[in-house]
A and B are shown apart, each in its own frame.
Chain A
Amino acid sequence: MDHQAHLLEVKELKTYFFTFEGVAKAVDDISIHLDKGETLGLVGESGCGKSVTALSIMRLIPEPPGRIVNGKILFDGVKLLDLTMKQMRDIRGKRISMIFQEPMISLNPVFTIGDQISEMFILHENCSKRESWERAVEMLRAVQIPSPEKRVHEYPHQLSGGMCQRAIIAMALSCNPEILIADEPSTALDVTIQAQILDLMVQLKEDFDAAIMLITHDLGVIAEIAQRVVVMYAGKVVEEGQTITIFEEPKHPYTRGLLKSIPKLQERSRYGRQRLQEISGIVPSLYELSPGCSFYPRCPESMAMCQGSVPELVDIGKAHRVRCWLHSGH
């Protein structure tokens, strides 16, 4: 549709890791986009390239061994891959923020929470030290941390995991970024805390008017907050569409497998409780991908042609796109 409207557009991105064992194609020809105010879910098993995609956008891929080999990343009309590191630093944290999986180890243990949050204001908004601290307290209040005036002087180890994640969210949102990339923000937390953190993110997204790219392997989380979903497998997008479409009419066998492997409470068969379905096999090693569809060895519906070549990502209507020979019109 309208190309100019996309806030972030990743085109044909290829990020490879060059190691002694060979070249790992962690992200292999990925194109995704994110619109203003949208929540996009990026789903897949561990090692499918979700995090590497996020780190590529931030240009935080460790070099060597990693390298962005090909592709374009357009953010608000700016080609991120062409920026100098200094220009990129003005975008990181200020316009695109990122939060990581493990809240307890994502904050520096030797600085107070206030020190780490106020750093954002000092860095990006030239605030005085005092003003930044006051704003840090406000941010802690915004993420609903009780008695923020006191917490601001505490060290990360004095806070619980959920509190740390709130502080990290406060830090990430402190400069009103246009995009928040959240890499498994709730995975390391208790289920009850998970729900709180997700609710908080939904609410803050409204308040701060940010677009969220949510990376997770948990489809339940996606169902709850994402409007659109991109399913990734072995460095490629295999299916993409509105959350509701994906959940109601999953087309790719991998997506169907993922959906079946969510435990459900009520559903019981005649024989009592049903066995949880799993996707057999494991994610293929990124070093030895077959020339065909990389899901082929695990796919319950594989055909002879799947082994030969990789199918294209085809549009099957309603902005629903899938990469599978079953739907390629052959």
Chain B
Amino acid sequence: MVTYITRRLMQGIVVLLAVSFICFIIFRYAGDPVHTLAGRYATFQEQEMVRKAFGLDKPFYIQYTRFLANAAQGNFGKSFVTRVPAFNLILERLPASIELATSAIIISFIVGVGLGVLVSLQPYAMRNRLVMAGSLFGISIPTFLIGILLIMVFCVYLGILPPFGRGETRMIGFWRTGFLTWSGITHLILPAFTLGMYQLAVLLRLTRAGMREVLTKEYIKTAWSKGLPPRKVIFKHALRNVLIPVITMTGLQFGELIAFALVTETIFQWPGTGNLLLTSIYESDQPVIVTYIMLAALIILSLNIIVDILYAYLNPKIRYD
């Protein structure tokens, strides 16, 4: 197991290096940074001064190693627009994104898996067929449409939930949380559903398919013949086998929900990293974009490794020796 984890960590580092290289190329060669740094009206001398001051006249490999060394310390340079370190800018926004993604994943896991199990028990009942048809909508309707529809129903017609923003927040250390206030929670509901809807539908279908397969297995017959109550047969003996792919899927998607909730965050004006990324792209704020990509890669890689370890724990046949 230890060898396995070390190997996975090494692979992760290689991937991060590759990502950093691509980031560096974007940073350095997608337009001359000197123009951005020195301003549009700088003279040639001023431009050369900037070039020297920032080390942009050095050879490529020196520039790249410096970029790496700085990146390792969380230093990705200052935002061109706000003049504060890009890393801090993102860190400040990250809690909002993590809270949104966590809520979305918890909702989709509980509702998706729960409904999936219920539906699998009576696959041909009318109401269960309706749920399955509904899940197709969840998969095929684009996020922005779901968001807009939810806003229309719950904010415009019913007027029971706020349409945008994060509401009141509290600071716990550096972490700005919306979980502790009522307004924070009501603001979270719609975006979390919007973000998790696709995931919910996928988990629902995955669970149903898995349960239907597992419920016909011999070991389930054994479980019934032992005299176990349905609750134990379904939630212990069957579900535990179904959860192996379901948890893998959830874990892998979690990273994506943190890093790429752009559309949802934009619709609901959620002050998260996705929203920041979008603004930065509009303003060609390269340090922020690069930091964002690096951070997203790091989050997704770490989650992948955690999922792999969890997978070994859930599936006793896998012990990575």
> Which of B217, B226, B240, B314 touches A93 (beta carbons < 8 Å)?
B226
On chain A, the residues within 8 Å of B315 by CB distance are 110
- A98-B317 in contact (CB<8A): no
> Which of B219, B228, B240 touches A105 (beta carbons < 8 Å)?
B219
**Residues of A near any B CB (own CB < 8 A):** 58, 60, 86, 89-94, 97-98, 100-102, 105-112, 119-120, 123-124, 155, 157, 168, 171
> Which of A86, A98, A108, A112 touches B225 (beta carbons < 8 Å)?
A98
- B219-A157 in contact (CB<8A): no
- B316-A108 in contact (CB<8A): no
On chain A, the residues within 8 Å of B225 by CB distance are 58, 60, 92-93, 97-98, 100
On chain A, the residues within 8 Å of B219 by CB distance are 105-109
* Contacts beyond the supplied A58-B225, A97-B225, A108-B219: 6 A-B pairs with Cβ under 8 Å: A106-B222, A110-B314, A111-B237, A112-B316, A155-B316, A171-B222
- A110-B241 in contact (CB<8A): yes
- B228-A89 in contact (CB<8A): yes
Count of B interface residues, CB-CB < 8 Å: 21
**Chain A min CB distance to B228 (Å):** 6
Is B229 part of the binding interface, using a Cβ–Cβ cutoff of 8 Å? yes
- A100-B218 in contact (CB<8A): yes
List 19 contacting pairs A-B, 8 Å CB cutoff, sorted by A.
Answer: A60-B225, A91-B227, A92-B224, A93-B225, A93-B227, A100-B221, A100-B222, A102-B218, A107-B219, A108-B222, A109-B241, A109-B316, A109-B317, A110-B240, A110-B244, A111-B237, A112-B316, A155-B316, A168-B222
On chain B, the residues within 8 Å of A102 by CB distance are 218
**Chain A min CB distance to B37 (Å):** 58
Closest to B215 in A: A62
Those of B204-237 within 8 Å (CB) of chain A: 217-219, 221-229, 232, 237
On chain B, the residues within 8 Å of A92 by CB distance are 224-227
With the chains together, A157 CA to B315 CA distance in Å? 11
On chain B, the residues within 8 Å of A100 by CB distance are 218, 221-222, 225
On chain A, the residues within 8 Å of B227 by CB distance are 89-94, 123-124
On chain A, the residues within 8 Å of B218 by CB distance are 100-102, 105-106
- B221-A157 in contact (CB<8A): no
With the chains together, A93 CA to B223 CA distance in Å? 9
On chain A, the residues within 8 Å of B244 by CB distance are 110
**3 closest pairs, A vs B, by CB?**
A93-B227, A92-B227, A93-B226
With the chains together, A168 CA to B226 CA distance in Å? 11
On chain B, the residues within 8 Å of A109 by CB distance are 219, 241, 316-317
On chain B, the residues within 8 Å of A168 by CB distance are 222
